[in-house]
Amino acid sequence: MRRKKLDLFPVFFATLLLLFSIYFYFESVKWKDYAEELEDENAALNDTLALTGEMLANETALSASLGSELETTKQTLNETNASLDQCYSDLEEETQQLEVCLSKTEELTEFLMETKDELENLSAELEGFQEQIEQSMSWFTENSNMKNLSASLRYQVDKCTSNTEINAPCIPIVMKEEKHWAYKTEEGDTLLSLDEMVKNKGGDCEDWSLFFKAAYNYLKEEDRPERYLVSAVPGTGNFKIYGDHYYADAEGREIGTTKDNLYIICYDSHCIVAMSDVEIKNSSDVYKLRGAPALEPQNGQYMFTIGSILAPDICSSDECDYYDIWIVITDNDIYDFHYNWEWVSYRDYYDAAAYYKDRIDAMNNLIEQTTG
């Protein structure tokens, strides 16, 4: 009986061992599966970790790139701020300069307005000067012809012409003989008008020259054929003046026709008249009187030919002796060589005044447009 009990222990032990073996087998299978799962999870985690590392590397690179861009942007921003600061500084400086300019503009505007007033006054003065010049020129025109003098005076002068000639000596002689005119000195050497000479019954050399020219212009306008102006020169026989008046040992000399112009010329403190077919309209025309015959208006005698040997010549900037001609008077103007060694007339003064007046008026208009 005891032997039987001892025989069961191995069986029990074998059974128990078998059970443990089975248990450990299943446990090992279980842990093997669990280990395989862990390996799979570990592989997945490794993959995830690798992907995360790659993403982290990308993010790190992107972060580095963004950091670089940020630094660049920061630098650009700093430069922009510096540029803005400079612009602000420049703007302040320009603003100050603009304020200075505005201040100067206001001063300039005030100055221009004052200048405008002064220029307007000057323009008015020039206009007044032009009117005075016109009056002076009109004076020569009004006294260039004796047609408005009394019929008695015209009657005496009419004795000096025919259908063929105008007798130059007759003009002064008839006035001296019939109207008792004479050479008379004056204070201040003033050029008398025709009316003043009539009242004065004579005058000095320039007055006689003015009257002789006026008498010639009156006679040349008569309704007669073209006539010669005849002067007296030394010669044989007697030169008839008018009536029973004669120049002994003299003869006539034709110095021009009624188509020609008569001019007063002054030289060596004396004035006479000269005849020329040239019409003097401006200062440059004065030189065209060279070659013109001249006569003494107080006796009608031939004197010389302008510019000939030993005779007075027209003054020029190259040469002008005391004996040369320095004044020429036409029917509407007077030409004087004394100013700046150039021939200057009232017309020149008038044109100069007109020129500067136009310039001044233009400046005034510009100032008005500028100042608003």
pLDDT averaged per 10 residues in sequence order, the chain, 372 residues: 53 72 72 74 78 79 79 82 83 81 70 66 68 85 96 96 96 97 86 96 96 97 93 93 94 96 95 97 95 98 96 93 94 88 89 84 79 68
CA dihedral 106, 110, 113, 119 (to 10 degrees): -120
> Which residues in 268-329 belong to E strands, given as ranges?
270-276, 293-295, 302-305, 325-329
Predicted local confidence at residue 6, as pLDDT: 47
Sequence-distant (6+) residues with CB within 8 A of 165 are 227, 228, 229, 230, 252, 254
Predicted local confidence at residue 226, as pLDDT: 94
The answer to whether 184 and 110 have CB atoms below 8 angstroms apart is no
Domain parsing of the chain, residue ranges: 145-331
pTM: 0.70
Q: How many CB atoms lie within 10 A of CB 87?
A: 10
Predicted local confidence at residue 25, as pLDDT: 72
Q: For the chain, state the CA radius of gyration.
A: 62
Give the C-alpha separation, 100 to 56, whole Å.
63
The answer to whether 277 and 259 have CB atoms below 8 angstroms apart is yes
Cα 135 → chain centroid: 29
Give the C-alpha separation, 254 to 293, whole Å.
10
Predicted local confidence at residue 115, as pLDDT: 66
